[in-house]
Amino acid sequence: MQRPVPLILLLLGLALLAGLAGLLGGSVPLAPVDVLHALLQPDGGTAAQILWTLRLPRVAAAFACGALLALSGVLLQVLMRNPLAEPYVLGIAGGAALAALGALLMGFALAGVQLAAFLGALCATGAVFVLAGAGSWNLFRLLLTGVVLSAGFGAGVSLLLALAPPTDGRGMLFWLMGDLGYATMPALAWGALALILVLTGSLAHALDVLSAGELQARALGVAVRPLQLTLFFTASLATAVAVAQAGPVGFVGLIVPHALRLAGLTAHRWLLPAAALAGGGFLTFADLAARTLAAPQQLPVGVFTALIGVPLLLWLLARRP
């Protein structure tokens, strides 16, 4: 990559644009002037209420979750040295979904369901870690363990959905496709995002070396196993936080790192911040589409990330020989 800075600035501009559009658009469109007024001088009017209690938290959560998923994708693709690795490959989404669904059916409130999703994601991470050999794994075994556990969790989810009363099932189906309608804690996601960006930013060079292969990285002086464990748990944390807020939104963690690499960003000190910006902007934009296209009905955002992501990825792949 010759000039990563213009691309990063472009992504920053697009992310800001997506955020602004997310604040303006919705079932009740707001004028830019009203948004500016409500942001600078909250006066308790309708516009200010919509903005501060609904739009701003949701846009903030969408951006942070998208950024977390994209970062998780980058980290797992380096860890697995497999371009098809994505945030859910280690069974994290399955664990979160099963736990969240269980909590919902047991009658927990929203916060309880989100906590269950987070704990479910961490339990799935722990299970994969232990079953794959507690750190003495080879990557193939780690990947297979994740895939097998995912399948198991998927069966559990289907079973619960089949047994659940039909009224509970519909909202849950939306959440399973990814839905930011329940995202209420953007501060938590932003905190996780900042933490993970700082941590992985300091590891950027080691990640470059690791992407050249495990043995090569050792030959060049990287402490490979500690780095792999860091990647494993960091990516899991990022995914768990995002899934607890937004449900298992698909495609962000797969397509964003791919698109950026195909655009020529391969050095991780550029790829990581770029992935955060692009992932955040992408999910914010997709969420805007989900909120407005069939307003007042809200559609699951995962449908839109797939609808945008699939053709984009196919186009990018077709462009390169």
Partner 1 sequence: MLEARALTLEVPGRRLCQGLDVRFQAGEMWGILGANGAGKTTLLHALAGLRRPEGGAVHLDGEPVLDLPARQRARRLSVLLQDEAEGFWGTALDWVRLGRFPHGRGLTGGGEDEPIVRAALERVGVAHLAQRTMATLSGGERQRVRLAMVLAQQADALLLDEPLQHLDLRSQLALLRLFAGEARRAGRLVIMVLHDVYWVSRYCDRALLVFGDGRVLHGPTGEMLQREPVEALYGCPLLPVEAAGGRLFLPVEGAP
Summarize as ranges the residues that interact with partner 1 (CB under 8 A): 1-2, 81-83, 205-206, 208-209, 211-213, 215-216, 218-223, 261, 266-267, 269
Shortest gap between Cβ of 85 and partner 1 (angstroms)? 12
Q: Closer to partner 1 by CB, 60 or 224: give it.
A: 224
Shortest gap between Cβ of 312 and partner 1 (angstroms)? 18
| Amino acid letter, 309 | G
In 3D, which of 283, 277, 271 has the Cα closest to residue 74? 271
Query: What's the rounded Cα separation, in Å, for the pair 304 and 139?
Result: 32
For 21-41, letters b (16+ CB in 10 Å) and e give bbbbbbeeebeeebbebbeee
Q: Closer to partner 1 by CB, 231 or 306: give it.
A: 231
Q: Closer to partner 1 by CB, 54 or 263: give it.
A: 263
Shortest gap between Cβ of 29 and partner 1 (angstroms)? 42
Q: Closer to partner 1 by CB, 261 or 291: give it.
A: 261
In 3D, which of 127, 122, 131, 136 has the Cα closest to residue 233? 122
Q: Closer to partner 1 by CB, 38 or 206: give it.
A: 206
The greatest distance separating any two alpha carbons of the chain, rounded to the nearest whole angstrom, comes to: 63
Shortest gap between Cβ of 260 and partner 1 (angstroms)? 10
Are 252 and 276 within 8 A, CB to CB? Answer: no
Query: What's the rounded Cα separation, in Å, for the pair 247 and 283?
Result: 12
Query: What's the rounded Cα separation, in Å, for the pair 320 and 262?
Result: 8
Pair of tokens at residue 128: 């994969």
Query: What's the rounded Cα separation, in Å, for the pair 19 and 14?
Result: 8
Cα Rg of the chain, angstroms: 20
Q: Closer to partner 1 by CB, 36 or 219: give it.
A: 219
Are 81 and 213 within 8 A, CB to CB? Answer: yes
Are 120 and 181 within 8 A, CB to CB? Answer: no
Query: What's the rounded Cα separation, in Å, for the pair 259 and 81?
Result: 17
Q: Closer to partner 1 by CB, 86 or 208: give it.
A: 208
Shortest gap between Cβ of 6 and partner 1 (angstroms)? 15
Shortest gap between Cβ of 284 and partner 1 (angstroms)? 27
Shortest gap between Cβ of 72 and partner 1 (angstroms)? 17
